[in-house]
Amino acid sequence: MPILTADMSAGTLVTWRKKVGDAVKRGDIIAEVETDKGLIDVEVFTGGTIERILVQPGAMVPTGAVLAIIREEAGILPAPPPTISSPPTPAPAAAGRATQAPPQIPTAPGRQRISPLARKLASDLGIDLATLSGTGPGGVIRREDIEHAAAARMDAAPKEQRPSLDRSARFRQAIGAAMARSKREVPHYYLSTTIDMQPALAWLAEENLKQSVTDRLLYGVLLIKAVALGLREVPELNSVWRGAEAVPSPAIHVGVAISLRGGGLVAPALHDTDRRSLTELMQSFSDLVRRARSGGLRSSELSDPTITVTSLGEQGVESVFGIIYPPQVAIVGFGKIVQRPWSVGGEVVSRSVITATLSADHRVSDGHRGGLFLASVDRLLQDPARL
């Protein structure tokens, strides 16, 4: 099958113009072939007689396939079919060089080579860059270098002081240092309110009866969702410090405080808390708890929260005023659900209630705005079906 067009790889034999036994000479048309460009004549380049036809009309065969055998006349010996040495496949380096970007200009001495992403993450996690060396090409500091430093910092707070500390003790020490700095530097103000949980708990019990046990919800998820939706009304509480400026973050990622067995606390983020259903939040929350306790959290989950919620109800504490986690600007606390006398429609009854608190950074919001926030959380919890 001859190559008849620029990009032909196969052809369909349509008709034979010669039959077995016919004599042919150079230049005769012996067949017609259908190609991508249409019907084209097939020319023969040697004289002789057709001995055998191998491909029947209608068959599609790749270029180079033998269509027929021609016994050449003794006299004319055609030039041996030229053997072609295939062009060298271009050495990637050589071919690539012509298309390469200009070489990196060496940075001025003292100027650290660090990716913008790594620089941002380092400032978020409070990692000191001076001591770091990068694993990227040419010693560039990259994201994973910051993550390793953050993880290492978790493991090894200042080593030289107490080399023999076990992991959780060192970890408590690192959290303590961050808390101390936050307490010193951030002008906290504190608000608290008591919220009637009766409608929420009644709705929850009913919901859980309808669900299978694997989809069962905890009341904590309702609290978290109420906080997230409340932030939509007071967005400055959902700000994060970027350098010298508190920037309201467009997304709401509520960090959920999870206590680790044997002491220690982490507050990984439930991403886009306000936009996810209670069931989704429950599954993510359960997953976070499991991974927090098995040390499987990702550094982004640690650095992404835009606010934190802490709950000590299970430990029997009625109200907890948290310390803000930098670079966040607020922390919400929930205590134990207790029975309290509560006036409903002028009549005093016993109701399940909870104390909700807000500790917030006075540079970014004031008590009036904090109060509005707690009021909206309270209002949201009174209509649990719409959470």
Partner 1 sequence: MGARGGPDQARVRGGDAMTKMTYREAIREGLREALSGDPRVFLMGEDVGRYGGSFKVTYGLLEEFGPERVRDTPLSESTFVGAGIGAALGGMRPIVEIMTVNFSLLALDQILNNAATLRHMSGGQLGVPLVVRMATGGGRQLAAQHSHSLEGWFAHIPGIKIVAPATPADAKGLLLAALREPDPVFIFEHATLYAVEGEVDDGAAPVAIGKAAVRRTGESVTLITYGGSLGKTLQAADQLAVEGIDAEVIDLRSLRPLDSAMVLASVAKTHRAVVVDEGWRMCSFAAEVSAQIMEGGFYDLDAPVARVCSAEVPMPYAKHMEDAALPQAATIVQAVHDMLGAHG
Partner 2 sequence: MTKEEIKAAVLRALGEVAPEADLTSLAPDIGLRDQLDLDSMDILNFVVGLHAALGVDIPESDYPKLGTLDGCVDYLAAARP
Partner 3 sequence: MTGEPGLDRGHALDLLRQMVLIRRFEEKAAELYTLGKIRGFLHLYIGEEAVAVGTMQALGPDDNIVATYREHGQALARGIPAGSLMAEMYGKASGCSGGRGGSMHFFDVSRRFYGGHAIVGGGLPIAVGLALADKLRSRAALTACFFGDGAVAEGEFHESLNLAALWKLPVLFLCENNLYAMGTALSQHQAQIDIRRKADAYAMPADVADGMDVLAVEAATRRAAASVRDGDGPFLLELRTYRFRAHSMADPELYRAKQEVEEWKTRDPIARHVARLREAGSLGDPDLTEIESGVAAEVDEAVRFAEAGPWEPVEDLTRHVYAAVTP
Window 283 to 302, contacts with partner 2 (CB under 8 A): 285-286, 289-290, 293-294
Closest CB to partner 3 among residues 45, 190: 45
Report what 216 binds from partner 2, partner 1, partner 3, none; CB cut-off 5-8 Å by kind.
Answer: partner 2
- The one of partner 3, partner 1, partner 2, none whose footprint includes residue 348, by CB under 5 to 8 A per kind, is none
What does 2 bind: partner 3, partner 2, partner 1, none (CB cut-off 5 to 8 Å by kind)?
partner 3
Residues within the interface to partner 3 (CB under 8 A):
2-6, 8, 26-27, 35, 37-40, 43, 45, 63-64, 79, 81-85, 87-88, 90-91, 94-95, 97-98
Nearer Cβ to partner 3 (38/250): 38
Write out the two tokens for 257: 């405080």
Amino acid at 368: H
> What value, to the nearest 5°, has the Cα angle with vertex 100 and ends 98 and 105?
130
Contact residue for partner 2 among 136, 220, 248, 371 (CB under 8 A): 220
Q: C-beta of 88: minimal distance to partner 3 in Å? A: 6
Q: What is the DSSP letter of 107?
A: P
| CB of 312 vs partner 2, minimal distance in Å | 10
Tokens of 238: 């959902």
The partner in contact with residue 115, picked from partner 3, partner 2, partner 1, none with C-beta cut-offs of 5 to 8 angstroms by kind, is partner 1
Half-sphere exposure (Cβ direction) of 164: Cα atoms closer than 13 Å: 0
Kindly indicate which of the ranges 35-43, 137-145, 206-214, 354-362 contains the residues binding partner 2, using the contact rule CB under 8 A: 206-214
Q: Distances in Å between the alpha carbon of 223 and those of 3, 60, 69, 375, 384?
A: 74, 70, 86, 13, 10
Contact residues for partner 1, defined by CB under 8 A:
101-105, 107-108, 111-116, 140
Residue 97 binding partner 2, by CB under 8 A: no
- As separate numbers, helices (DSSP H) first and strands (DSSP E) second, the chain gives 9, 18
Distance CA 292, CA 277 (A): 22
Q: What is the DSSP string of 295-346?
A: T---HHHHH--SEEEEE-GGGT-S---PPP-TTBSEEEEE---EEEEEEETT
16 or 219: CB nearest partner 2: 219
Residue 205 binds partner 2 (CB under 8 A)? yes
38 binds, among partner 1, partner 3, partner 2, none (CB under 5 to 8 A by kind): partner 3
Told to check if 208 binds partner 2 by CB under 8 A, we report: yes
- Whose Cβ is closer to partner 3: residue 11's or residue 384's? 11
User: Quick one: which of 261, 347, 348, 368 contacts partner 2 (CB under 8 A)?
Assistant: 261
Position 63 contacts partner 2 (CB under 8 A): no
Whole-angstrom distance, CA of residue 232 vs CA of residue 238: 8
Identify residue 249 by its one-letter amino acid code: S
Q: Which is nearer to partner 1, 108 or 213 (CB)?
A: 108
Q: How many CB atoms lie within 10 A of CB 340?
A: 14
Give which of 218, 237, 217 is closest to 227, Cα–Cα: 237
Query: Which is it for the CA torsion 207, 213, 215, 216, positive or negative?
Result: positive
Q: Binding of partner 2 at residue 218 (CB under 8 A)?
A: yes
The number of residues that bind partner 2 (CB under 8 A) is 19
> How far apart are the C-alpha atoms of 285 and 112, rounded to whole Å?
39
Rounded Cα–Cα distance for residues 363 and 246 (Å): 9
Contact positions toward partner 2, by CB under 8 A?
205, 208-209, 212-214, 216, 218, 220, 259, 261-262, 285-286, 289-290, 293-294, 314
